[in-house]
Structure 1
Amino acid sequence: MAQDTLQTAGPTMALGLPATPLRRYVLDYRGYRMSLDRPRRRLEVPTDVVTVALAFEGTMRLTDAVSPAPGISFGSIAAGLRRTATIAEHAGVLHGLAVSLTPQGAFRAFGPVAGELGGQWADAGEVLGPRLGRLAARLADAPTWPARFALLDDHFTALLADGPAWEPDVAWAWHQLRRSWGLVPVGALVEGTGWSRRRLEQRFREQLGLAPKQAAGILRLQRTLRLLTAPDERLARADLAALCGYYDQSHLHRTFRGMVGCSPREFLASRRSATTLEPADRVIGRITSAVLDADPS
């Protein structure tokens, strides 16, 4: 297990990579300890990642970035695949860790409840049971981040050893979507699986938590973000729109705003203007976040 720690005058962040046999299902571990004199807000964009965050201290308030409603406060959180972005805010004090899983890993670790998490946030203990609560207590008592990550390796090795697997046709269809960054038409997935469109959608909702079209939209968004933030890419916006599967630049902007709650330009400006030393992105290999100004209200 590889481990790295970033310590500044403010937050302490620790990154752990799971043991090699787990990496098909578990992407990484992130430890954090913050003691700030002001609230911190982050915009978390849709990704193809299921997150379980275990809090040792502090709570997080989550709000949908596209359709704002009163925020919901959580200690430990389980978050499934979501088509719209989330604004996550805490008061400045937060200590805990997050586990990032692939959709396959979440289903294998937690069973059908992983599909039920689609589009939702939930209290991790209520959804994932008392076993997770016992693990959180052991993690809080562990003396170092490497010791905590080793406990997580043991926990997920046991969970994944005999957990349920996706149906082969779901795995095949998801691979086609990921390989093409969401550009494979749903009709081609229907033809390839031999299922009806209705059955394909039902299986995706049961095992990923979203329909194939929604999952494809997340993958297209992730490719768009990756190209927009790549320092060596200088694509014209029209070319970028076509490459990522949008009809034109206007279609890209409408879709981006409908999923993230702001324009691409505003999202990039938030990432550039952030003064915090903590990493912008919370999952290796994904564009996940922008740090926002504190809410003036």
Structure 2
Amino acid sequence: MAGFRDRGITPPGLRLVPHPAVALVLVFGGTIAVEDATGRRQHGSFVTGLGYGERLSALRADAFACLQVRLSPVVARAVLGGAVADLGRAALSLDELWGRDAARLAGRLGELPSWAARFAWMDAWLARRCAAAPGVDPEVAWAWRRIAADRGVIRIERLAAELGWSRKQLWSRFRAQVGLSPKHAARLVRFDHAVHRLVAGQDAAGVAADGGYADQSHLHREVAAFTGLTPVTVVDEPFLAVDDRAWGRPGRG
């Protein structure tokens, strides 16, 4: 989780770089309306699907605060239900997903006196949601954790073989419950590790060699596919620049 506060000086646009997590953005203490690159508009709190990466433009914003929660797709299914797989790489207003419960949740966060109290309350709320609802199948959870642990480099054929499934069976079950195919999920995880190494100042050739890419051109194509940028320009993205500071340790706000 990370907490963010805006005092009415929201920039005109912010590119969200794809990340291997479902993002829950809970807005309280003010209002914001945003529009993505396709013209879809979201008001207030919203959720983005696994690997969401588009430019968001503020249409209207008062001073507001928001608590952002990154959920692995294994946890997200328990928290959000089957809707998580239907999100794909899109964004959805929490009002559409939860109705009045979304406003009640944001209101409760606004009543708490500090970020520490909000993090603790949200942690307990998420634990209750996970305990009350089914998550993904154990085999799908194992496959996701294996992909994440191997930084997206593992071959999907090997995953299927270790599970005792066919490649088609793994693809079908994984896609239905996570929202992406296992191959695309592995690409996303590999990209995430690579782009953060680029931001840390490592050279593209070394990142490509160590990150499981065929060569530097392969890395260039993947960065362009996920962001529309090059390895040289993606390091200047503001969202990535604050990533380590905002998400460097639990409870940072």
One-letter code aligned to 1:121 = A
Aligned to 2:92: 122
Residue pair 2:14, 2:238 contacting (<8 A) in 1 also: no
Deviation at residue 47 of structure 1 after TM alignment: 1.1
**C-alpha deviations, 1:137-175, integer Å up to 9, x for none?**
222233333333333133222112232132121122112
Distance 1:248 1:119, change over 3 A: same
Which of 172, 175, 178 does residue 142 from structure 2 map onto?
172
**C-alpha deviations, 1:42-65, integer Å up to 9, x for none?**
2221111111111222224242xx
1:78 equivalenced with 2:47 (yes/no): yes
1:46 equivalenced with 2:18 (yes/no): yes
Deviation at residue 270 of structure 1 after TM alignment: 4.1
1:87 equivalenced with 2:55 (yes/no): yes
User: CA–CA distance in 2 between the matches of 1:171 and 1:147?
Assistant: 30
Instruction: Give the structure with the larger strand fraction.
Output: 1
Q: Residue 45 of structure 1 aligns to a residue in which SS?
A: coil
Aligned to 1:212: 182
Aligned to 1:284: 247
Residue pair 1:115, 1:205 contacting (<8 A) in 2 also: yes
Q: Which runs of 5+ in 2 are unaligned?
A: none
Residue pair 1:81, 1:118 contacting (<8 A) in 2 also: yes
One-letter code aligned to 2:162 = G
Aligned to 1:59: 32
Residue pair 1:100, 1:283 contacting (<8 A) in 2 also: no
User: CA–CA distance in 1 between the matches of 2:227 and 2:18?
Assistant: 8
Which of 128, 144, 152 does residue 122 from structure 2 map onto?
152
Aligned to 2:192: 222
Distance 1:134 1:179, change over 3 A: same
1:244 equivalenced with 2:217 (yes/no): no
TM-score by length of 1: 0.73
TM-score by length of 2: 0.85
Aligned to 1:293: none
User: CA–CA distance in 1 between the matches of 2:20 and 2:57?
Assistant: 21
Which of 163, 184, 191 does residue 193 from structure 1 map onto?
163
Deviation at residue 282 of structure 1 after TM alignment: 7.6
Deviation at residue 224 of structure 1 after TM alignment: 0.8
Deviation at residue 78 of structure 1 after TM alignment: 0.8
The number of residues matched between the two structures is 245
Residue pair 2:45, 2:102 contacting (<8 A) in 1 also: no
User: CA–CA distance in 2 between the matches of 1:62 and 1:214?
Assistant: 26
Residue pair 1:118, 1:205 contacting (<8 A) in 2 also: no
Instruction: Give the structure with the larger helix fraction.
Output: 2
User: CA–CA distance in 2 between the matches of 1:210 and 1:102?
Assistant: 13
Residue pair 2:32, 2:61 contacting (<8 A) in 1 also: no
